[in-house]
Amino acid sequence: MTRTLEPEKQGLYDPQFEHDNCGVGFVANIKGVKSHDIIEKGLQVLLNLTHRGATGADPETGDGAGVLMQMPHLFLKEECRKIGIDLPAVGRYGAGLVFLPRDVVQRNRCEELLEYYVRQEGQALLGWRDVPTDNRLVGRTSREGEPVIRQIFVGSRAADPAALERKLYLIRKQVERRVRESDLTEKSYFYVPSLSARVLIYKGQLMAHQIEAYYPDLSDPRMESALVLVHQRYST
């Protein structure tokens, strides 16, 4: 009898197609019609990919999960208006999710660096928004490493959306390098998952079933997109 670590080929199953990789899925409206329903369906796809993720000793701390969508302009414009930020038309501003240190002094330093590179690239800082979060369902390990999460809004000084996208990329890469090379003791907390005029990302060291509860924004019916890309991370 031959011993093997792989299961045998049988029926429609073939072990050569077996891979230990992340789970990725998407939902899109082929006519480009934005709706909250697309986001809800995307979150359901993410739930269906739970088996592609993993946990360690803490069963409520996952390898990570995330959601990418088109810029939810209506939602952001109304939320930003409440805090005194007047967002321009779609394509004339960028928005980004930013993970920041818990220490106030170090957090301020990271924000100042990000604002510095916004100015260096000739763009306008529109403001910051505190992203609502609820960590009651996440695991102990995830809470211990939980950053402060904010959104930054950057206004364009040019009418070319492609040029703005390039500027936002340069801003993100420069500030990440600057913080990485700094002497900040909490620099590992700093990360910019997205900074774009076209898409917005919500992610974290979460399990698939935790992300919607952790980010109440995702349940808001004003948050609409014609496509959603989801990712269930598997750390290898």
Tell me the residue ranges of DSSP E strands in 35-147.
65-70, 93-100, 124-130
**Would you say residue 112 has pLDDT above 90?**
yes
Of the listed ranges 49-58, 63-72, 122-131, 163-172, the least confidently predicted one is 49-58
**104 by DSSP, 3-state: which?**
helix
> Which domains does the chain show, CATH number per domain?
19-232 (3.60.20.10)
Compute the average pLDDT of residues 223-234: 90
pLDDT in tens, 37-54: 999 999 999 888 877 666
Closest by CA to 77, choosing from 145, 126, 26, is: 126
pLDDT in tens, 163-200: 999 999 999 999 999 999 999 999 999 999 999 999 99
DSSP for 162-196 reads HHHHHHHHHHHHHHHHHHHTS--TTGGG-EEEEEE
Residues annotated as catalytic are 22
In which residue are the tokens 């891979």 written? 19
